């Protein structure tokens, strides 16, 4: 035989001889992750945390309720187009969708009622998704962006919201659905409490060079700068803030702008930078010991062992925990091990993560307890203010709670407006009105 023919024959035989791996029964959980692109730096520790927690459960307990979890990552690079592509590719067997981008969430949200796969967007996505009456298939526990905005303002006001009158608050945000999400609430709060709200957008292409934005901030001299950044925007903003001499203790970021990796390179110069967060790294938590034992020491993790005490890594674990709790609840309620998407939806809607349960999981102190229900798809757990001390993030406040009186009406009106714009949109009439 001619050499090329031999080669082709060999390849054919190998392909045929490869025995397909016997796929044991498992729950398929896709993750629309990004490990490439300008947002990879912030995405990777989160996705590592998610992955390692599930690997740990698979190794230690054989999965959840006796069945293994098959977590598959699909690379989106934060692009809405690839995100929708990944969603379409994985939706056959998927029990949940984890879009990891507010833009992708908005792209997938209209299809949830027809495709019937729940969206789990912990701490991101469309804030009105809390309104479970309208968004039956979308969940964003444990806190939404509007919660975060409210809590940050409460922290700034020191609990006395009247003291905000006359202040100037700038919102340095990514010019993307994610960054624009909290603006309606900020405008409502500015109108109610009498402070001046100044939105400062950073375009996707100018994330790395924010000199124009920081010049604007320097001229405006706001009392506080709140950052709604992600990916490369975070580190560039912090560098510019230090370079332009903006006082770090007046600079507060949302939970996605509190990344150890961004601040490590600045170190002590960034001391005083704060970030609100519903997850706190607890290095000596029992669950961390388990992750070390079953995953890191066995070499089953892609994460850098130095970074396992980063805020984002442990937040990824918390996020996986939320999903696993939902799966566990669904297994108990429906009496089946291999739960499907509809059952996981029920699980997400009936979460009750109590202090006692967190202790059982070995995650005490990592996340505030919260409870979801059909009217409340967020849980509104509250959050802590973290501060960078030069080397790591430390808790500097008690548990802050969002002001529901301002947020709940907005959730209702915006939810109804979305349903109207996407008519016909099925609404869960059985849900008690919010």
Secondary structure (H, E, C), 225-284: EEEECCCHHHHHHHHHHHHCCCCHHHEEECHHHCCHHHHHCCHHHHCCCEEEECCCCCCC
Q: How far is the CB of 299 from other proteins (least distance, A)?
A: 14
Judged by CB under 8 A, does residue 73 bind other proteins? yes
Secondary structure in 3-state letters for 135-149: CCCEECCCCCHHHHH
- Between vectors from CA 256 to CA 250 and to CA 258, what angle results, nearest 5°? 50
C-alpha–C-alpha distance, residues 136 and 90, integer Å: 21
Q: Say how far apart CA 198 and CA 355 lie, in whole Å.
A: 39
**Rounded Cα distance, 409 and 434, in Å:** 8
Q: What is d(CA 227, CA 148) in angstroms, rounded to the nearest whole number?
A: 11
Residue of 190, 196, 182, 254 whose CA lies nearest to 400:
254
Q: Which stretch binds other proteins (CB under 8 A): 83-91, 255-263, 303-311, 366-374?
A: 83-91
The reply to whether 55 sits near other proteins by the rule CB under 8 A is no
Instruction: Decide: is 204 part of the binding site for other proteins (CB under 8 A).
Output: yes
Does 199 bind other proteins (CB under 8 A)? Our answer is no
For residues 249 to 288, the per-residue mask of contacts with other proteins, x marking binding by CB under 8 A and - elsewhere, is ----------------------------------------
Segment interacting with other proteins (CB under 8 A) among 29-37, 248-256, 264-272, 352-360: 29-37
| 3-state class (DSSP) for residue 162 | helix
Q: Which helix (H) or strand (E) holds 46?
A: helix 40-61
Q: Is 74 in the site for other proteins (CB under 8 A)?
A: yes
Q: Does 81 bind other proteins (CB under 8 A)?
A: yes
Q: Which residues 349-388 are close enough to bind other proteins by CB under 8 A?
A: none
Q: Is 165:193 a contact under the CB 8 Å cutoff?
A: yes
Q: Is 2 exposed, middle or buried (0-12, 13-18, 19+ CB in 10 A)?
A: exposed
Smallest separation, CB 336 to other proteins (Å): 26
26, 61, 107, 364: residue in contact with other proteins (rule CB under 8 A): 107
Residue 359 Cβ, how far from other proteins at the closest point, in Å? Answer: 34
The window from 31-39, 131-139, 352-360, 387-395 that contacts other proteins (CB under 8 A) reads 31-39
Query: Among 38, 63, 99, 103, which residue interacts with other proteins (rule: CB under 8 A)?
Result: 103
- In the complex, the smallest distance separating the C-beta of residue 154 from other proteins, rounded to whole angstroms, is 22
88 binds other proteins (CB under 8 A): yes
Of 67-75, 147-155, 280-288, 310-318, the window that binds other proteins (rule: CB under 8 A) is 67-75
Cross-strand partners of 227 = 172, 253
Whose CA is closest to 153, among 362, 378, 407?
407
Cα–Cα distance between 192 and 14 in angstroms, integer?
70
416 lies in the binding site for other proteins (CB under 8 A): no
CA 48/CA 415 separation, integer angstroms = 33
- Toward other proteins, which CB reaches closer, 108 or 361? 108
For residue 196, list its beta bridge partners.
168
Helices (H) and strands (E) in the chain, counts: 16, 13
| CB closer to other proteins out of 108 and 152 | 108
Footprint on residues 283-322 left by other proteins (CB under 8 A) = 302
Select 36 or 163, whichever has its Cβ closest to other proteins: 36
Size of the site for other proteins (CB under 8 A): 45
Nearer to other proteins, 251 or 418 (CB): 418
CA separation for the pair 94, 31 (Å, rounded): 10
137 in Cβ contact with 94 (< 8 Å): no
Binding of residue 116 to other proteins (CB under 8 A):
no
**Cis previous bond, 27, omega within 30:** no
Judged by CB, which is closer to other proteins: 199, or 362? 199
Is residue 12 a contact residue for other proteins (CB under 8 A)?
A: no
Residue choice 26, 113, 397, 401 for contact with other proteins (CB under 8 A): 113
By CB under 8 A, name the one of 84, 280, 287, 400 that touches other proteins.
84
Q: Does 75 bind other proteins (CB under 8 A)?
A: yes
Give the list of residues 6+ apart from residue 114 with CB closer than 8 angstroms, or none: none
Please tell me the distance from the alpha carbon of residue 400 to that of residue 385, in angstroms, as a whole number: 8
Taking the complex as a whole, how short is the minimal distance between the CB of residue 99 and other proteins, in angstroms? 13
Residue (of 165, 154, 159, 236) closest to 197 by Cα position: 165
Instruction: State the residues that interact with other proteins by CB under 8 A.
Output: 15, 18, 20-21, 33, 35-36, 40, 73-75, 77, 80-81, 84-85, 88-89, 92, 102-103, 106-108, 110-111, 113-114, 126, 175-177, 180-181, 183-184, 204-205, 302, 414, 418, 421-424
């Amino acid at each position: 035989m001619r050499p090329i023919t031999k080669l082709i024959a060999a390849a054919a035989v190998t392909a045929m001889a490869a025995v397909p791996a016997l796929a044991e029964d498992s729950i398929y959980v896709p993750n629309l992750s990004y490990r490439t692109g300008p947002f990879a730096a912030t995405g990777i520790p989160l996705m590592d945390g998610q992955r390692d927690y599930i690997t740990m459960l698979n190794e230690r307990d054989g999965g959840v309720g006796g069945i293994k979890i098959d977590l598959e990552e699909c690379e989106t690079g934060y692009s809405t187009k690839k995100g929708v592509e990944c969603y379409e590719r994985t939706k056959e067997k998927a029990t949940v969708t984890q879009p990891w981008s507010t833009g992708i969430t908005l792209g997938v949200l209209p299809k949830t009622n027809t495709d019937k796969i729940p969206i789990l967007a912990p701490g991101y996505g469309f804030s009105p998704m809390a309104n479970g009456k309208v968004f039956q298939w979308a969940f964003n526990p444990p806190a939404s962006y509007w919660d975060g905005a409210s809590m940050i303002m409460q922290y700034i006001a020191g609990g006395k919201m009247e003291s905000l009158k006359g202040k100037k608050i700038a919102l340095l945000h990514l010019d993307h659905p994610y960054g624009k999400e909290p603006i309606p609430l900020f405008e409502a709060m500015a109108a109610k409490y009498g402070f001046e709200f100044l939105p400062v957008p950073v375009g996707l292409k100018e994330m790395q060079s924010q000199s124009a934005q920081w010049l604007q901030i320097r001229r405006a001299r706001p009392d506080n700068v709140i950052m709604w950044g992600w990916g490369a925007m975070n580190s560039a903003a912090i560098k510019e803030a230090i370079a332009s001499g903006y006082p770090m203790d007046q600079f507060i970021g949302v939970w996605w702008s509190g990344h150890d990796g961004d601040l490590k390179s600045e170190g002590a110069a960034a001391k005083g930078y704060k970030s609100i967060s519903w997850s706190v790294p607890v290095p000596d938590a029992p669950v961390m010991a388990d992750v070390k034992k079953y995953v890191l020491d066995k070499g089953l993790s892609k994460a850098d062992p130095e970074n396992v005490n980063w805020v984002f890594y442990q937040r990824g674990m918390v996020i996986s925990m939320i999903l696993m709790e939902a799966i566990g609840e669904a297994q108990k309620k429906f009496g089946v091990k291999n739960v499907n998407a509809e059952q996981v939806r029920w699980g997400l809607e009936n979460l009750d993560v109590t202090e006692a349960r967190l202790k059982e999981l070995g995650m005490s102190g990592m996340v505030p307890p919260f409870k979801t229900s059909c009217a409340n798809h967020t849980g509104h757990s509250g959050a802590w203010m973290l501060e960078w001390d030069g080397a790591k993030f430390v808790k500097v406040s008690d548990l802050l709670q969002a002001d529901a009186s301002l947020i709940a009406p907005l959730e209702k009106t915006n939810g109804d407006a979305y349903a109207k714009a996407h008519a016909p949109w099925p609404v869960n009439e059985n849900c008690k009105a919010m």
